[in-house]
Amino acid sequence: MNTRTSQDADPLPDLLSPLARDWWVVLLYGVIAIVFGLVALFSPVGTAVALAWAIGVMALAEGIVSIVALFSKDPPMSKGLLLVYAVASISFGLWTVFSPGITAIALLLLIGAWLIVGGIFRIVFAIRARKEIEGEWLLALGGVLGIVLGVLFALDPLGGLFVTTLWIGAGALVYGVVQIVAAFKLRKHRVAA
């Protein structure tokens, strides 16, 4: 005997109702993402500097919150570690806010170093695992590509910053379009409900 109600039969409308009611918020996210994507595509270096600046502001805020936590009755960790974290966050934040371009390039160089180390690790792992897995050459190839990308970032950090920001901009555009399509589908669902 089937005792399911219409509500049990299709849980999706209940799940989508709050989203459908505020479909315009999803649309707004999409529009903001598209605007950000276009700015990143037409001014990639400026966008990278702005992103680095935003990271600096977040680090400053984190440092200030950590200092406030130092004076709380029951801090979340030892006061010594909290002080070290606060000083490091504020120092990094100030440096980044006042030198966002240098920070963006430095972060890209760190990513390049990470790619090189990760590439070497993948190659070593592929060689060691060649008897246990098939397609180990794909791991090795991924490692080689990571090393090449890391070296390219090290040789031309400004070019790497440019290309990375272009990819971020393209991703933001795709995300924005998907959000806008989803918003209008949610709007249609609201009208149908």
The predicted-structure confidence for 46-57, as pLDDT tens digits, reads as follows 898 888 899 899
Q: What is the pLDDT of residues 154-177, one digit of tens each?
A: 999 888 888 889 999 999 999 999
Take residue 20 and report the two structure tokens written for it.
């459908």
Residue 37 has pLDDT above 70, yes or no: yes
Q: What is the pLDDT of residues 84-110, one digit of tens each?
A: 999 999 999 999 999 998 988 888 899
pTM value surpassing 0.85: no
Q: What is the pLDDT of residues 137-149, one digit of tens each?
A: 888 999 999 999 9
pLDDT for 32 equals 93
Across 107-134, b (16+ Cβ under 10 Å) vs e yields bbbebbeebbeebeebbeebeeeeeeee
pLDDT for 57 equals 94
Take residue 192 and report the two structure tokens written for it.
């149908």
Euclidean distance between the first and final Cα of the chain, in Å?
28
